Protein backbone atom coordinates (compact mmCIF):
# COMPACT_ATOMS: atom_id res chain seq x y z
CA UNK A 1 0.00 0.00 0.00
CA UNK A 2 2.95 2.32 0.50
CA UNK A 3 4.60 1.87 -2.88
CA UNK A 4 3.87 3.44 -6.23
CA UNK A 5 5.61 3.42 -9.59
CA UNK A 6 5.61 6.82 -11.31
CA UNK A 7 6.44 5.20 -14.65
CA UNK A 8 2.97 3.68 -14.77
CA UNK A 9 1.24 7.03 -14.58
CA UNK A 10 0.69 10.05 -16.77
CA UNK A 11 3.05 12.83 -15.78
CA UNK A 12 0.40 15.49 -16.38
CA UNK A 13 -3.11 14.00 -16.07
CA UNK A 14 -6.16 15.73 -17.53
CA UNK A 15 -7.63 17.39 -14.44
CA UNK A 16 -4.23 18.50 -13.13
CA UNK A 17 -3.38 20.04 -16.49
CA UNK A 18 -6.65 21.94 -16.68
CA UNK A 19 -6.39 23.15 -13.09
CA UNK A 20 -2.89 24.48 -13.77
CA UNK A 21 -4.10 26.33 -16.86
CA UNK A 22 -7.18 27.79 -15.16
CA UNK A 23 -5.25 28.98 -12.11
CA UNK A 24 -2.56 30.56 -14.28
CA UNK A 25 -5.12 32.38 -16.44
CA UNK A 26 -7.05 33.63 -13.42
CA UNK A 27 -3.86 34.93 -11.82
CA UNK A 28 -3.02 36.73 -15.05
CA UNK A 29 -6.46 38.34 -15.00
CA UNK A 30 -5.99 39.33 -11.35
CA UNK A 31 -2.66 40.94 -12.17
CA UNK A 32 -3.91 42.91 -15.17
CA UNK A 33 -7.59 43.66 -15.71
CA UNK A 34 -8.42 43.03 -12.06
CA UNK A 35 -6.52 46.11 -10.93
CA UNK A 36 -8.99 48.48 -12.55
CA UNK A 37 -8.26 52.17 -12.22
CA UNK A 38 -7.82 52.29 -8.46
CA UNK A 39 -6.17 50.31 -5.69
CA UNK A 40 -9.09 47.88 -5.31
CA UNK A 41 -8.93 44.66 -7.29
CA UNK A 42 -12.24 44.30 -9.11
CA UNK A 43 -11.84 40.56 -9.57
CA UNK A 44 -11.04 40.09 -5.88
CA UNK A 45 -14.17 41.98 -4.87
CA UNK A 46 -16.36 39.74 -7.00
CA UNK A 47 -14.71 36.33 -6.86
CA UNK A 48 -12.47 36.18 -3.76
CA UNK A 49 -13.99 34.69 -0.62
CA UNK A 50 -15.42 37.22 1.82
CA UNK A 51 -16.75 36.71 5.32
CA UNK A 52 -20.47 35.92 5.10
CA UNK A 53 -21.26 39.02 7.19
CA UNK A 54 -19.63 41.29 4.61
CA UNK A 55 -21.72 43.17 2.07
CA UNK A 56 -19.32 41.82 -0.56
CA UNK A 57 -20.00 38.14 0.19
CA UNK A 58 -21.63 36.04 -2.53
CA UNK A 59 -22.20 32.25 -2.35
CA UNK A 60 -20.27 31.59 -5.57
CA UNK A 61 -17.09 32.84 -3.86
CA UNK A 62 -16.89 29.54 -1.96
CA UNK A 63 -15.88 27.99 -5.30
CA UNK A 64 -14.26 30.81 -7.26
CA UNK A 65 -11.70 31.73 -4.59
CA UNK A 66 -10.12 28.29 -5.07
CA UNK A 67 -8.76 29.40 -8.44
CA UNK A 68 -7.28 32.71 -7.26
CA UNK A 69 -3.96 33.54 -5.61
CA UNK A 70 -2.39 36.48 -3.83
CA UNK A 71 1.06 36.40 -5.41
CA UNK A 72 3.16 34.48 -7.90
CA UNK A 73 4.89 32.65 -5.05
CA UNK A 74 1.51 31.64 -3.65
CA UNK A 75 0.43 30.39 -7.08
CA UNK A 76 3.67 28.52 -7.77
CA UNK A 77 3.80 26.71 -4.42
CA UNK A 78 0.18 25.57 -4.69
CA UNK A 79 0.44 24.49 -8.31
CA UNK A 80 3.71 22.65 -7.75
CA UNK A 81 2.17 20.77 -4.81
CA UNK A 82 -0.97 20.12 -6.84
CA UNK A 83 1.10 18.49 -9.57
CA UNK A 84 3.50 16.70 -7.24
CA UNK A 85 0.87 14.99 -5.08
CA UNK A 86 -2.27 15.31 -7.17
CA UNK A 87 -0.96 13.67 -10.33
CA UNK A 88 -0.38 10.41 -8.47
CA UNK A 89 -3.85 10.49 -6.95
CA UNK A 90 -5.56 11.31 -10.23
CA UNK A 91 -3.86 8.38 -11.92
CA UNK A 92 -5.09 6.10 -9.15
CA UNK A 93 -8.66 7.39 -8.88
CA UNK A 94 -9.31 8.68 -12.37
CA UNK A 95 -10.25 12.25 -13.34
CA UNK A 96 -13.85 12.25 -12.08
CA UNK A 97 -13.14 10.97 -8.59
CA UNK A 98 -10.03 13.14 -8.29
CA UNK A 99 -11.93 16.30 -9.22
CA UNK A 100 -14.66 15.47 -6.71
CA UNK A 101 -12.03 14.94 -4.02
CA UNK A 102 -10.25 18.18 -4.87
CA UNK A 103 -13.42 20.27 -4.80
CA UNK A 104 -14.77 18.66 -1.61
CA UNK A 105 -11.49 19.40 0.20
CA UNK A 106 -11.50 22.96 -1.11
CA UNK A 107 -15.11 23.62 -0.14
CA UNK A 108 -14.61 21.95 3.24
CA UNK A 109 -11.59 24.14 3.88
CA UNK A 110 -13.62 27.23 2.97
CA UNK A 111 -16.42 26.27 5.36
CA UNK A 112 -13.96 25.71 8.21
CA UNK A 113 -12.30 29.04 7.45
CA UNK A 114 -15.70 30.73 7.41
CA UNK A 115 -16.35 29.35 10.88
CA UNK A 116 -13.07 30.85 12.12
CA UNK A 117 -13.87 34.17 10.44
CA UNK A 118 -17.25 34.21 12.17
CA UNK A 119 -15.66 33.76 15.58
CA UNK A 120 -13.00 36.40 14.89
CA UNK A 121 -15.46 38.98 13.57
CA UNK A 122 -17.94 38.45 16.39
CA UNK A 123 -15.17 38.85 18.97
CA UNK A 124 -13.80 41.96 17.23
CA UNK A 125 -17.27 43.52 17.02
CA UNK A 126 -17.76 42.92 20.75
CA UNK A 127 -14.38 44.41 21.69
CA UNK A 128 -14.87 47.38 19.36
CA UNK A 129 -18.33 48.06 20.78
CA UNK A 130 -16.83 48.10 24.26
CA UNK A 131 -14.24 50.66 23.18
CA UNK A 132 -16.78 52.84 21.37
CA UNK A 133 -18.94 52.86 24.50
CA UNK A 134 -16.01 53.36 26.85
CA UNK A 135 -13.06 54.84 24.88
CA UNK A 136 -10.42 54.28 27.53
CA UNK A 137 -6.74 53.59 27.07
CA UNK A 138 -7.25 50.13 28.58
CA UNK A 139 -9.90 49.18 26.03
CA UNK A 140 -7.76 50.49 23.18
CA UNK A 141 -4.80 48.48 24.43
CA UNK A 142 -7.01 45.39 24.45
CA UNK A 143 -7.79 45.91 20.77
CA UNK A 144 -4.20 46.85 20.00
CA UNK A 145 -2.85 43.70 21.62
CA UNK A 146 -5.47 41.27 20.34
CA UNK A 147 -5.65 42.43 16.72
CA UNK A 148 -3.13 43.59 14.17
CA UNK A 149 -4.20 47.24 14.08
CA UNK A 150 -1.19 48.10 11.93
CA UNK A 151 -2.23 45.69 9.17
CA UNK A 152 -2.83 46.69 5.56
CA UNK A 153 -3.25 50.42 5.04
CA UNK A 154 -3.93 51.04 8.73
CA UNK A 155 -1.18 52.83 10.64
CA UNK A 156 -1.86 53.42 14.30
CA UNK A 157 1.48 54.66 15.65
CA UNK A 158 0.53 58.35 15.77
CA UNK A 159 -2.94 57.69 17.14
CA UNK A 160 -1.54 55.32 19.73
CA UNK A 161 0.94 57.95 20.94
CA UNK A 162 -1.72 60.68 21.10
CA UNK A 163 -4.24 58.53 22.94
CA UNK A 164 -1.71 57.31 25.48
CA UNK A 165 -0.36 60.85 26.00
CA UNK A 166 -3.68 62.73 26.12
CA UNK A 167 -6.39 60.15 26.86
CA UNK A 168 -9.00 62.79 27.73
CA UNK A 169 -8.61 64.92 24.60
CA UNK A 170 -12.03 64.81 22.84
CA UNK A 171 -10.45 65.20 19.39
CA UNK A 172 -8.11 62.28 19.99
CA UNK A 173 -10.97 60.16 21.32
CA UNK A 174 -13.04 61.00 18.24
CA UNK A 175 -10.17 60.04 15.92
CA UNK A 176 -9.72 56.77 17.82
CA UNK A 177 -13.40 55.93 17.48
CA UNK A 178 -13.35 56.63 13.75
CA UNK A 179 -10.23 54.52 13.35
CA UNK A 180 -11.68 51.52 15.20
CA UNK A 181 -14.94 51.72 13.24
CA UNK A 182 -13.03 51.75 9.96
CA UNK A 183 -10.83 48.87 11.11
CA UNK A 184 -13.85 46.71 11.96
CA UNK A 185 -15.35 47.36 8.53
CA UNK A 186 -12.08 46.57 6.74
CA UNK A 187 -11.61 43.41 8.82
CA UNK A 188 -15.10 42.28 7.83
CA UNK A 189 -14.26 42.80 4.15
CA UNK A 190 -10.94 40.92 4.22
CA UNK A 191 -10.60 38.55 1.26
CA UNK A 192 -9.34 34.97 1.16
CA UNK A 193 -7.89 33.42 -1.99
CA UNK A 194 -6.02 30.27 -2.91
CA UNK A 195 -6.25 26.53 -3.45
CA UNK A 196 -4.23 25.76 -0.33
CA UNK A 197 -7.09 24.02 1.48
CA UNK A 198 -7.68 21.67 -1.45
CA UNK A 199 -3.94 21.11 -1.87
CA UNK A 200 -3.56 20.25 1.82
CA UNK A 201 -6.30 17.69 1.30
CA UNK A 202 -4.24 16.13 -1.49
CA UNK A 203 -1.12 16.21 0.65
CA UNK A 204 -2.89 14.38 3.46
CA UNK A 205 -4.33 11.82 1.03
CA UNK A 206 -0.86 11.12 -0.33
CA UNK A 207 0.53 10.62 3.17
CA UNK A 208 -2.46 8.45 4.09
CA UNK A 209 -2.13 6.17 1.05
CA UNK A 210 1.66 6.16 0.80
CA UNK A 211 2.87 6.67 4.39
CA UNK A 212 6.33 5.21 3.86
CA UNK A 213 7.10 6.85 0.53
CA UNK A 214 10.14 9.09 0.66
CA UNK A 215 9.91 12.80 -0.01
CA UNK A 216 13.08 14.79 -0.55
CA UNK A 217 13.13 18.15 1.21
CA UNK A 218 15.07 20.66 -0.85
CA UNK A 219 15.88 17.68 -3.11
CA UNK A 220 18.47 16.35 -0.65
CA UNK A 221 16.93 15.27 2.66
CA UNK A 222 14.71 12.17 2.57
CA UNK A 223 11.72 11.97 4.91
CA UNK A 224 8.80 9.56 4.95
CA UNK A 225 5.51 11.04 3.82
CA UNK A 226 3.73 10.21 7.09
CA UNK A 227 6.28 12.18 9.12
CA UNK A 228 6.28 15.12 6.73
CA UNK A 229 2.48 15.33 6.66
CA UNK A 230 2.22 14.87 10.42
CA UNK A 231 4.77 17.59 11.12
CA UNK A 232 3.06 19.94 8.68
CA UNK A 233 -0.33 19.42 10.34
CA UNK A 234 1.14 20.09 13.78
CA UNK A 235 2.79 23.26 12.48
CA UNK A 236 -0.47 24.50 10.95
CA UNK A 237 -2.36 23.80 14.17
CA UNK A 238 0.25 25.62 16.26
CA UNK A 239 0.38 28.59 13.88
CA UNK A 240 -3.41 28.80 13.77
CA UNK A 241 -3.75 28.80 17.55
CA UNK A 242 -0.90 31.27 17.99
CA UNK A 243 -2.47 33.64 15.43
CA UNK A 244 0.57 35.91 15.27
CA UNK A 245 0.13 39.55 14.28
CA UNK A 246 0.73 40.02 10.58
CA UNK A 247 0.16 36.35 9.75
CA UNK A 248 -2.27 36.41 6.83
CA UNK A 249 -2.24 32.64 6.23
CA UNK A 250 -5.56 30.82 6.69
CA UNK A 251 -4.13 27.97 8.78
CA UNK A 252 -7.51 26.57 9.81
CA UNK A 253 -8.55 26.44 6.15
CA UNK A 254 -5.55 24.18 5.58
CA UNK A 255 -6.61 22.02 8.50
CA UNK A 256 -10.16 22.01 7.14
CA UNK A 257 -8.84 20.58 3.89
CA UNK A 258 -7.09 17.86 5.89
CA UNK A 259 -10.25 17.10 7.87
CA UNK A 260 -12.47 16.71 4.82
CA UNK A 261 -9.75 14.71 3.08
CA UNK A 262 -9.70 12.25 5.97
CA UNK A 263 -13.50 11.99 6.06
CA UNK A 264 -13.77 11.37 2.32
CA UNK A 265 -10.95 8.82 2.35
CA UNK A 266 -12.63 6.88 5.15
CA UNK A 267 -16.01 6.96 3.39
CA UNK A 268 -14.55 5.81 0.10
CA UNK A 269 -12.45 3.06 1.65
CA UNK A 270 -15.48 1.75 3.54
CA UNK A 271 -18.00 1.89 0.70
CA UNK A 272 -15.81 0.90 -2.22
CA UNK A 273 -12.67 -0.70 -0.89
CA UNK A 274 -12.06 -2.68 -4.07
CA UNK A 275 -11.68 0.40 -6.26
CA UNK A 276 -10.42 2.81 -3.63
CA UNK A 277 -6.79 1.93 -4.17
Entry pTM: 0.87
Asked if the model's pLDDT at residue 275 lies above 60, the reply is no
Counting residues of the chain whose pLDDT is more than 90, the rounded percentage is 66
Q: Residues 162-183: pLDDT tens digits?
A: 899 999 999 999 999 999 999 9
Identify the band that residue 219 occupies on the pLDDT scale cut at 50, 70 and 90.
low
User: 252 CB contacts (<8 Å, ≥6 apart)?
Assistant: 112, 113, 115, 116, 240
CATH assignment of 6-118+191-276, given 2.130.10.10, 3.40.50.450, 1.25.40.20, 1.20.1540.10? 1.20.1540.10
Give the pLDDT band of residue 39 (cuts 50, 70, 90).
low
- Measuring CA to CA, how many Å separate 117 from each of 48, 122, 176, 242, 262? 14, 8, 24, 15, 23
Instruction: Parse the chain into domains and list their residue ranges.
Output: 6-118+191-276, 134-188
Cα distance between residue 53 and residue 101, in whole Å? 28
What per-residue confidence (pLDDT) applies to 276?
53
Instruction: Tell whether the model's pLDDT for residue 1 goes beyond 60.
Output: no
Instruction: Give the residue-averaged pLDDT of 37-61.
Output: 87
CA nearest 230: which of 208, 257, 248, 261? 208
Mean pLDDT, rounded, for 221-241:
89
How far from 133 is each of 49, 139, 174, 176, 182, CA to CA, in Å?
A: 31, 10, 12, 12, 16
Q: Return d(Cα 43, Cα 60) in angstroms, integer.
A: 13
Amino acid sequence: MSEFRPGRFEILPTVIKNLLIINALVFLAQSTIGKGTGEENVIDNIFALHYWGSDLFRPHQLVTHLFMHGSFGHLFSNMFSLWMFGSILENIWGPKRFLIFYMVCGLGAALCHMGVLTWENVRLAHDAKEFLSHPTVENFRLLDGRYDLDSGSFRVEGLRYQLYSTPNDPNVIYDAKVFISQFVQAYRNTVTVGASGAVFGLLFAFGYLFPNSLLYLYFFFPIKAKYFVGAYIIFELFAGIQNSAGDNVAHFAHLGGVLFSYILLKVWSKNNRRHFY
